A and B are shown apart, each in its own frame.
Chain A
Amino acid sequence: MLAPLSWIKEYVDVDITPQELQDKLFSCGFEVEELYEVGKDISKVVVGHVLECEAIPDTHLHVCKVDCGEHGEFQICCGADNVVAGGKFPTALVGATVYATAKDHKTVEGVMTIGKGKLRGYESFGMLCSGVELGVSENMYPGAGYNGLLVLPEDAPVGADVKPILGLDDWMFDIAITANRPDCQSIYGIAREIAAVLEKELKTPDLSYTETDATLEGFKVSVDCPELCPRYSAHYVTDVKIGESPAWMKRRLALVGIDAISNVVDITNYILKELGQPMHAFDCNDIEGNAINVRRANDGEKIVTLDGAELALTNANMVICDGVKPVALAGVMGGLNSEIKDTTSSVLFESAKFARDNIRKTSRAVGKRSDSSARYEKGVDEYATVMAMKRALHLIEELECGKVSSMHVDVNTGNSVEPRELTVSIKKVNDVLGIVVPNDDILRIMDNLAFAPKIEGDNLILQVPAFREDIENYPDIAEEVIRMYGYDKVVPTFIPSAKVTTGGLNLQQKSELRLKNALCSVGAYECIHYSFFSPSDLDLLRLPEDAVERTAIRLVNPISEELSLMRTTLAASMINAIVRNQKKGNLEGRLYEIGNVFMPKSLPLTEYPDERAKLCVGIFGEKESFFTMKGIAEKIADTLHVEFTYENMSNTFLHPYQTARIMCEGKEIGYFGKLAYDIASDCDLRTQVFILEMDLKELSCYYGKKPVFTPLPKFAEEQRDLALVVSKDVTCGQIESVMKEACKYITKISFFDIYEGEQIAADQKSMAFTVVFTPKDEAFTTESVDAFVKKILKQLNKAYGVELRS
């Protein structure tokens, strides 16, 4: 929220520097996000009195002699059409900083430093300035909007700094207001806090006015939806003369970023900023039926707002109607049909409290945000609603733009504007804090905050101001006390009263960490990808229409279509990560991610979906192969002390003959394989990619499995190398399982070579294995091992026609 120091000072006497005030606000819970002088970019600009002014022939320029008082007398060339001898103008001395403008003299293009110059042979020692060059608009200073020199008053002291004259020495506070303090969303609200923290008196805005006898006979205000509108007040103003607001009001509005429109409209905006209460003014001539009715809109009902937009409404929106038609979209924007015009002669002021979530939802639904809706969304209180109406009527009188009638209607189903009593235990307040704040300090602090405190024994009796809707119980009071008493008085203690608890990771968390470390040890880097992905990722994987992955949960309000579905597989994000890496020139690497996929039990969601932890590994580069990925799978198995087996399989995004289903104790737990060539080519992948995905939820039943110690064999192991000639379609796995079946002493079979070629029949291959035999109860003899080999060969021959290679 923007607050000019000069405006704050109207309500509280600030006698410390802006920086000191910033620190005070910070310590009591209001962070000043930005603090700057209005004229922060302007320096060394003084009041100059033009003594002589002569036209330079054949140009639009004048050469002037300018008296700058204590700074000296300078020759300055000037191109403005309103330069004149005897005039007083802002004069930028050599070394001054002002805004540089484009050729149009209106568009600011940064800050420039004035140097000595020479124009058409005439030396120039400075510059006479326009409003734009000083960052002063017409609303901030009358006459500053002229496309020429800014004319200073005749009584401006020659040589004086122009900043105080133009209000450029004012300071702007951009203050972050937390959501629990909507009462501070205004100049007056923040002044109230400043008064408390500085222990100064808070001045009340002038709320006085005199009512005339005028009234609207039989005028009725009714509220059909008190749940959305707990308070609605209206006041009739006659003899309205629409015109310009005074300079002081225009200046304040300009400082907080609001353009002046006309006196009546400006008053409503002024009140919004000063008291934090959105107001609306209807042209009474347009109010038909002598009535105001606040109600929910009918479905399909239409309204044209002030900005000319036609909006279609629903029952969830609230409208202000006259006896016939909607005249405003409540809290958001007035209707075009009743706007204030130059011809407006009587006005109906509205000051109301609307439910904040209704305004928020309406504002979003119709896509229209205004200062009013932004303010209502944060919440207004009845205290401000009542005060604002009085202040508006006072300003009508002060600006002499109308007469305050005696017709005031107030429909109230909300809170009282009187303080409510709250009694809290001082001990409990101190127990929350963990320190004992002296009673005198508690009294002083609560008094400064206008809670009119009294202490009776352990009871702190408070009168909670109506604008403090956030105060409910003793923890709130504890917070009020400590933020004013000082958080630096909190003494660090280490939960002396708490019971000892045991902490740490559970089995699943430990196991996932073990897996991550194991994957790091094989050179893979951990990644974290978004939990959402794109519908196009499902197409990237060529998933068929009925694939389970396509039943993904959709975000109602995604940031973009690319991030609109909850992931049902981690593979797509991994492929995309590899694509990004290859585009950056990283042509080889290993990546992995452990993350959740989200499988809905119903759509739209009516119960928690199945959130399953998955592991995805992606490896790429010319060094990688199906078998390096298989090695990673084995690493995972070893880490968990389980055994994986592999089966041929195919899916839509992997190579049809280089893909394996991973099985653990007969249960399918994942897959891995080489990325299909068409996908690789669509993604412009330059090196081959292998993807593995595993369901950690399925694997979690093995977490915590311990390695089992096998006693070392008493007798020496024997090993034999076997070179076998087999048909090409027989697999390594098939041979190994026949061997194991044939001899119970086999403890290890290592494949070490394969040969296909001239020395062997075309449909055959030679495979070489080292087989380890481990004796159990007695030592082997050469003959016993020979017998095992013979049996193995016989079984292999029977099963697959395998022969020993000669």
Chain B
Amino acid sequence: MNANLEQIKQEIISGAEELNSSKEVYEFKKKFLDGKTGKIGLLMKEMKNIAPEERANYGKGVNELKEWALGYLGELDVKMKAKELQDRYESEKIDISLPAVASEQGNLHPITLIRNQLIDIFSGMGFEVFEGTEIETDYYNFTALNTPQDHPARDMQDTFYLSPEFLLRTQTSAGQIHVMENKKPPIKILSPGKVFRSDDDATHSPMFTQMEGLVVDKGITLCDLQGMLDVFVKKVYGEGTKTRLRPSYFPFTEPSVEVDCSCFECGGTGCKLCKGTGWIEILGAGVVNKKVLENCGIDSEEYSGLAFGIGIERTAMLKYGINNIKHLFESDLRVLKQLND
């Protein structure tokens, strides 16, 4: 009888050598160890044919064989599975230098990016965002802004007219007049939007984007203008950036200034970007003209204001080094994809 057990053991040892996969190991194991049909399982059923005095010994022998087989084949299974895993990995060997599969994410237009950045800065200072209409009347675009019909400043901007009364706004300050008419100070508004002038070359587009800011309250001064723009310039162009005011002229401010910031390319020593001057012109600003406040029914003796206007395209072109304003309006994907700031 022991010989029979020994034979089964030998059968397992020799049979196992032929096995090539964990699946075969499983099937092989079943052949011997299945409780109802396996060879070792069936040995237990033989118990009734065994002499009673040998039963204990027989049972012990079968159990030992079963334990051994479980261990032996289990070990084989672990080895086989480890090999199979390794084989699978190896079969999936790749050339990691092949190109990446892109998951495409679009991006906001550079004008929107700059717009959002500026809105973020000025909302933190308490500015509301107000977008007026692109089509305005002559009154709101010019007359209310202290630019009467015969004013030479009207020559500064070539205006697109739609009718004798209606035009495409040349500045977003047109919308600010509507706000001042309907709201009493304190006023802090930021007006981003499309504006239009009859100009068309590498740095001028007939449509461009402006962001104008207006503060009306008691005791606003030129020093406040410089202070506020200092904060703005440092946030946009970096902490070390300096600002410089110099006299200029806009009909709706008096005094009027051009604001330059120290060149963020060379830091002020002079380079190609700043044309060797160390300064870059970034915006126009000033103390709101008394007449403009009065046109809106605001007491110009009690209140004063400051205003500034930033060209978004110019800011975007400076910031990203875009050489032609047309790139911003032609929707060339090769351009748009580069500007994922």
List residues of A whose CB falls within 8 A of some B CB. 26-29, 178-182, 355-357, 360, 377-379, 431-435, 473, 475-476, 478-479, 482-483, 487-488, 490-506, 509, 513, 516-517, 519-532, 553-559, 563, 566, 577, 580-581, 584, 586, 589-592, 596, 598, 604-606, 608-609, 611
B246 with A482: CB separation less than 8 A: no
24 A-B contacts, Cβ less than 8 Å apart? A26-B246, A29-B247, A178-B248, A180-B249, A355-B150, A356-B152, A431-B219, A487-B247, A497-B218, A498-B218, A498-B220, A501-B188, A505-B123, A516-B112, A520-B106, A525-B331, A526-B107, A531-B196, A553-B162, A566-B162, A580-B330, A598-B134, A609-B135, A611-B133
A434-B224, A529-B331 are known; give 11 further A-B pairs, CB within 8 A: A29-B249, A377-B152, A479-B255, A505-B123, A506-B129, A525-B106, A525-B109, A525-B331, A531-B134, A580-B331, A608-B137
A521–B107 Cα distance when bound, in Å, is: 8
In this complex, what residue of B is CB-closest to A584?
Answer: B332
- Judge whether B255 and A482 touch: CB under 8 Å: yes
Do B163 and A556 have beta carbons less than 8 Å apart? Answer: yes
Shortest C-beta distance, A477 to chain B (Å), equals: 10
Question: Quick check: B336 and A556 within 8 Å, CB to CB?
Answer: no
Residue of B nearest to A558 (CB): B160
Give chain B residues whose Cβ lies under 8 Å from the Cβ of A531. 134, 168, 194, 196, 207
A563→B206 contact, CB < 8 A? yes
Mostly, the B contact residues are mixed
Query: Contact check: which of B111, B116, B187 meets A513 at CB < 8 Å?
Result: B116
Considering only residues 149-204 of chain B, those with a C-beta below 8 Å from chain A are 149-156, 160-163, 165-166, 168, 186-188, 190, 194, 196, 198, 200
- B contact residues vs A (CB 8 Å cutoff): 104-109, 111-112, 116, 119, 122-129, 131, 133-135, 137, 149-156, 160-163, 165-166, 168, 186-188, 190, 194, 196, 198, 200, 206-207, 209, 215, 217-224, 226-228, 230-231, 244-249, 251, 254-257, 287, 289-290, 304, 328-334, 336-337
B104:A581 contact, CB within 8 angstroms: no
User: Is there contact, CB below 8 Å, between A475 and B331?
Assistant: no
A604: chain B residues within 8 A (beta carbon): 162-163
Inter-chain contacts of A29 with B (CB < 8 A): 246-249
For A558, list chain B residues within 8 Å (CB).
Answer: 160
Contact A475 B198 (CB under 8 A): no
Contact: B289 with A475, CB < 8 Å? yes
Q: Is the CB of B162 within 8 A of A605?
A: yes
**Inter-chain contacts of A378 with B (CB < 8 A):** 152, 155
Tell me if B119 and A505 are in contact (CB < 8 A): yes
Query: Contacts of B248 on A, CB cut-off 8 Å?
Result: 29, 178
Given contacts A179-B153, A487-B244, A492-B226, contact A598 B135 (CB under 8 A): yes
- The 8 Å CB contact of A523, one of B105, B230, B304, B328, is B105
Please, how many angstroms separate the alpha-carbon atoms of A478 and B337 in the complex? 49
Q: Given A178-B249, A520-B108, A580-B330, verify A527-B155 contact (CB < 8 Å).
A: no
Contact between chains at B219 and A433 (CB < 8 Å): no
From B124, B215, B330, name the one whose CB has the most chain A CB atoms within 10 angstroms. B330
Q: Is there contact, CB below 8 Å, between A492 and B227?
A: yes
A501 vs B186: C-alpha distance when bound (angstroms): 8
B31 to chain A, nearest CB (A): 38
Q: Chain A residues with Cβ under 8 A from B230's Cβ?
A: 492
B134 touches A596 (CB 8 A): yes
**A495 and B217 contact, Cβ closer than 8 Å, known pairs A178-B248, A586-B334, A591-B333:** yes
Number of A-B contacts (CB under 8 A): 260
Set of chain B residues within 8 Å of A563, measured between Cβ atoms: 206
In the complex the two chains form, is B222's CB within 8 Å of A498's CB?
no
Residues of B within 8 A of A181 (CB): 249
Given contacts A434-B222, A494-B227, A502-B126, contact A555 B161 (CB under 8 A): yes
Q: Are A584 and B334 in contact (CB under 8 A)?
A: yes
Neighbour of A479 across the interface among B150, B247, B329, CB < 8 A: B247
Instruction: Identify which of B231, B251, B336 gathers the most chain A CB atoms within 10 Å of its CB.
Output: B336
Which residues of B have CB within 8 Å of A491? 223, 226
Identify the closest chain A residue to B185 (Cβ): A499
Q: How far is the CA of A323 from the CA of B242 in the complex (A)?
A: 65
CA distance A357 to B154 in the complex (A): 10
Q: Which of A496, A516, A530, A611 contacts B108 (CB 8 A)?
A: A516
Expressed in whole angstroms, the Cα–Cα distance for A586 and B221 within the complex equals 52
Tell me which residues across on chain B come within 8 A of A598, comparing CB atoms.
Answer: 134-135
Of the residues B128, B207, B227, contact of A493 by C-beta under 8 Å? B227
The answer to whether B155 touches A526 (Cβ under 8 A) is no
- B215-A498 in contact (CB<8A): yes
C-alpha spacing A87/B331, complex, angstroms = 67
Residues on the A chain within 8 Å of B129, using CB: 503-506, 509
* B124 A553 Cβ-Cβ under 8 A: no
Q: How far is the CA of A580 from the CA of B335 in the complex (A)?
A: 12
The 9 closest A-B pairs by CB, nearest first: A434-B221, A434-B223, A29-B247, A479-B255, A178-B249, A497-B219, A357-B150, A523-B104, A492-B227
| Beta-carbon contact of B332 and A487 below 8 Å | no
Q: Report B330 CB to chain A, min CB distance, Å.
A: 6
The answer for the CA separation of A493 and B220 in the assembled complex, in Å, is 10
B228 touches A586 (CB 8 A): no
Given A580-B331, A584-B334: A528 in contact with B109 (beta carbons within 8 A): yes
* CA gap between A596 and B193 in the complex, in Å: 11
User: Closest chain A residue to B113 by CB distance?
Assistant: A526
Q: What are the residues of chain A within 8 A of B222 when measuring CB–CB?
A: 432-435, 478, 482, 490
Q: How far, in whole Å, are A519 and B129 apart by their CA atoms in the complex?
A: 23
* CA gap between A474 and B230 in the complex, in Å: 26
Chain B residues within 8 Å of A479, by CB:
247, 254-256
Identify the closest chain B residue to A521 (Cβ): B105
Residues of chain B within 8 A of A519, CB atoms compared: 106
Closest-by-CB residue of B relative to A494 is: B227
